[in-house]
Amino acid sequence: MKLREDIRNIAIIAHVDHGKTTLVDQMLKQAGMFRANEQVRERVLDSNDLERERGITILAKNTAVQYKNVKINILDTPGHADFGGEVERIMRLVDGVLLVVDAFEGCMPQTRFVLKKALEQKVTPIVVINKIDRENARPEEVVDEVLDLFIELGADEDQLDFPVVYTSAVKGTAGLDPREQDSSLEVLFETIVRTVPAPVDNRDEPLQMQVALLDYNDYIGRIGIGRIFRGTMRTGEQVALMKLDGSVKHFRVTKMFGFMGLKRVEIEEAYAGDLVAVSGMGDILVGETICPVEAPDPLPPLRIDEPTLKMTFLVNNSPFAGREGKFVTARKIEERLKLELQTDVSLRVEPTDSPDAWIVSGRGELHLAILIETMRREGFELQVSKPEVIEKEIDGKICEPFERVVIDVPEEYSGQVIESLGRRKGNLLDMRHAGNGQVRLVYSVPSRGLIGYQSELMSMTRGYAIYNHSFEEYRPKLPFEIGRRERGVLVALETGTASTYGILQLEDRGTIFVEPGTEVYEGMIVGEHNRENDLTVNICKTKHATNIRSATKEQTQIMKKPRIFTLEEALQYLDDDEYCEVTPKSIRLRKKILNKSEREKLAKKRKM
């Protein structure tokens, strides 16, 4: 069997913030992919604004480096489980993975998640213990943890015989011993070339290319990115696209690109083993196969994990609708959601009885929050409901998703955290003292118990907790109500402007969410009540002017700082009878029924 020794295809997988993208930066720099005078920012592959702001990778990125006479195609994958759809597809394109693990933190929930995907596809692993220069680094222990994880996930003997490279991605150094670092990543490059299998060279057989990623360009339209598994592909030739529904479409390859560094390079010809981007197909979808017209032979479709969380997206119908957004109509929102479906295979959009509402399902709160945030930045206005978990019937039983949760927390707060997760029906799997006063708690928790949990955890531990979770499996539904908000809200009585006087009068009733001068409308949520019931309040109240002055009454009052929500916090805070109104400039919480008397009538009916 002939192999293409000039190519290696690898993916980099890791838990969030273990240094994947920084490592790719250094690989690009050391392989001479930038000019000597070129200004290169950090985390160069995280090109999307949201990725740079949050320090996470959302979309898989492909790049390539030339090491000696071998081209190494590198795919940087998201570490967060909410973007697992990207990770699964990437595994089909590569022959090896670099599993990057933090030398201090060790194996985390997403390490487990991404490694499971890699082992299922039988790709060859290389373990990279990163941040070796970090204070309290414990590389030998972490290697043992990784080995335990491989065994737990059912790795075969070949996969268990993995090489280990110790690196500091920030410094660009690597070594085969944790105490000895070379001044470059040479050891890592050599290990990749030696360990990762070269692709089979079957360029003379009929063409087979599977599309795993999609891109869009205003000039050339849809672009399908994938791997040629067999045969040769040339620009200008007529090919058949094997659709997922079984139909076949013919098209001409108008342009084809290879990858080198951060650039796409236009090419005329590509062979088995190459990763390429192809244009010319208007409606290509992920998982479809490109074949010769005379020899249609589709590859098995890609299996994508199902969504676990759903929300209703609605046209904004609040009193302030249309003030701040460019795109506010049902048609525009529906078009945008359909466009997202073209590139995000983990997303589902279903119509409802109303033409102004859609049920949007995704892999988690972050997955949906990123979509909403992207839409508001593009000028959309919409409303969304509280996130709900998606239940399934398995063997005649109603089942719900469970997640594996890892929390690192200072010892003094561990009792409160254990108590709070107990209330949310969490099951403690492991508790370890990690030294320096930290405790690591590992739990299995129903997904619905985690909606809104992050903000509670952060306030309980004064922001010191490190919280990670990823989807585990579906299990029979627990017969309990879990994770409801314990307190009611303060709801505005009328439309107007929140006044300093009105806010000061309400501060002893709860926590205020708006600043003086903020425009509010009837039914808008302006604060959290101290008690469990909702309270309608007049936050626009102004002080009556009198001509009588009092020596004691005019004392200055200090106003407390209002609690301003980020988008994720707002989504987590919602209750069943509330919406979050999202516009390019504002995030507002509101009751579904704005009028106080109508809300009261409905509440009475429900009690009857």
- Binding site as annotated, residues for GTP: 17-22, 130-133
Which two tokens mark 69?
Answer: 């006479």
Beta strands in 178-220 (DSSP E): 180-182, 208-217
Distance CA 448, CA 591 (A): 21
As a whole number of angstroms, the distance between CA 574 and CA 372 comes to 15
For 386-460, strand residue ranges (E) read: 388-389, 392-394, 397-410, 427-433, 438-446
Positive or negative, the CA dihedral 273, 116, 98, 266 is: positive
Which residues are part of a known binding site?
17-22, 130-133
The 3 state secondary structure assigned to 479-520 is CCCCCCCCCCEEEECCCEECCHHHHHHHHHHEEECCCCCCEE
Q: Which two tokens stand for residue 71?
A: 């081209």
How many C-beta atoms lie closer than 10 Å to residue 136's C-beta?
10
Q: And the tokens for 457?
A: 């955890």
Whats the size of the chain, residue-wise?
A: 608
Our CA dihedral for 273, 277, 278, 284, rounded to 10 degrees, sits at 100
Q: CA angle at residue 171 from 168 to 177, to 5 degrees?
A: 40
| DSSP assigned state of 380 | B
Structure tokens at 479: 């017969």
CB 104 within 8 A of CB 69: no
The DSSP line for 229-256 is EESEEETT-EEEEE-TTS-EEEEE--EE
As beta bridge partners, residue 308 has none
Q: Residues 6 or more apart from 338 whose CB is under 8 A from it?
A: 349
Q: Judge contact between 360 and 310, C-beta under 8 A.
A: yes
For 507-560, the DSSP string reads: GGGEEE---TT-EE-TTBEEEEESSSS-EEE-TT--PPP-S---TTTT---PPP
| Paired strand residues for 385 | 579
